[in-house]
Chains A and B, each alone.
Chain A
């Protein structure tokens, strides 16, 4: 017996609708940043994923979900290097189509982090890298992660965070959806994870990876201004730069286990 009402929520048009463009889907942005980051477009790239995966000590065939899998670089790495049974989920049809072009036979599905199409307590690990800050309802996503994870299973998050105090950050909309727009401060992130059914075991500032990425972009483009110019116009560029100054972005790695 199929419960149609329950299934239909995965195809609700408003759950996948995006009103403002996504920076990470922009071909110009991906072309500009790709040579520096490789397939995994985030600070630390695949090497941070591998470090975190190694620290979890999960066995081969562990069922692992990569939320915000994009073109599948992380899922591919978790499958080949760790022999995990890794699955990817992403809301972007465009990025999933990129994965298909690469002809990798990866189990990637389209879906939303706040409505994961998986049974409860079925995953040994969930990875969310540079994704939580893109989700409009991050606490709902954290609760969904908790639902699909087995007791004691791992949640690995790496993401941009705001190093400035919330009181000093202007609440202005971003011109494009990006991880900078949803950057929260450390206290808020840890509270959210601890209140979603997890024990937060490690929080590590990895801002060095963000700085390295920015520095490599300068070497590649000549300046950060030249990098921004490669994919956005003067106004958008100005807003991005103002917002970056405003939040003083850092990067973190968080490792938590389901209670």
Chain B
């Protein structure tokens, strides 16, 4: 029913610092004092979260507009 949050191609990336493959993990995000949880590619060692251009300009941009009441 819902979208697959993390695409297989998103997990082909490696963390630059740790040199390990990213994994799909539930991440807590906060914007304008609103907390959300969603699946994103994460480095299992240092916890670095990768937000792709598609996510940033897609669902995150739409969420920003909703929360900014636009």
Contacts and interface: CB of A to CB of B under 8 A. Distances in A.
Interface of A: 31-32, 35, 207-208, 211-212, 214-216, 218-224, 226, 230
20 contacts: A31-B1, A32-B2, A207-B69, A211-B67, A212-B34, A212-B36, A214-B66, A215-B66, A218-B62, A218-B66, A219-B5, A219-B59, A220-B2, A220-B38, A222-B3, A222-B59, A223-B59, A223-B62, A224-B62, A226-B3
Given A219-B37, A221-B2, 17 more contacts: A31-B1, A32-B1, A32-B2, A207-B69, A208-B34, A211-B69, A215-B34, A215-B36, A218-B63, A219-B5, A219-B36, A219-B38, A219-B59, A220-B2, A222-B59, A223-B58, A226-B3
A182 to B, nearest CB: 22
B42 to A, nearest CB: 15
B3 A220 contact: yes
Interface in B44-70: 58-59, 62-63, 66-67, 69
Contacts of B37: 219
A5 to B, nearest CB: 48
Contact of B2 (A35, A207, A211): A35
Given A208-B34, A211-B69, A219 B1 contact: no
A208 B67 CA distance: 8
A215 B63 contact: yes
Given A211-B69, A226-B3, A230-B1, A219 B63 contact: yes
Q: Is the interface of B mostly helix, strand, loop or mixed?
A: mixed
A224 B58 CA distance: 11
Contacts of A215: 34, 36, 63, 66-67
B45 to A, nearest CB: 25
Interface of B: 1-3, 5, 34, 36-38, 58-59, 62-63, 66-67, 69
Main secondary structure of the interface of A (DSSP, over half): helix
A28 B34 CA distance: 27
Nearest to B62: A218
A212 B62 CA distance: 12
Nearest to B31: A215
The 5 residue pairs across chains A and B that have the minimum distance between CB atoms: A222-B3, A219-B38, A215-B63, A214-B66, A218-B62
B66 A211 contact: yes
A24 B35 CA distance: 26
A220 B1 CA distance: 10
Given A211-B34, A216-B36, A221 B67 contact: no
A37 to B, nearest CB: 13
B15 to A, nearest CB: 23
Contacts of A221: 2-3
Nearest to B59: A218
Contacts of A220: 2-3, 38
A84 B59 CA distance: 41
B46 to A, nearest CB: 23
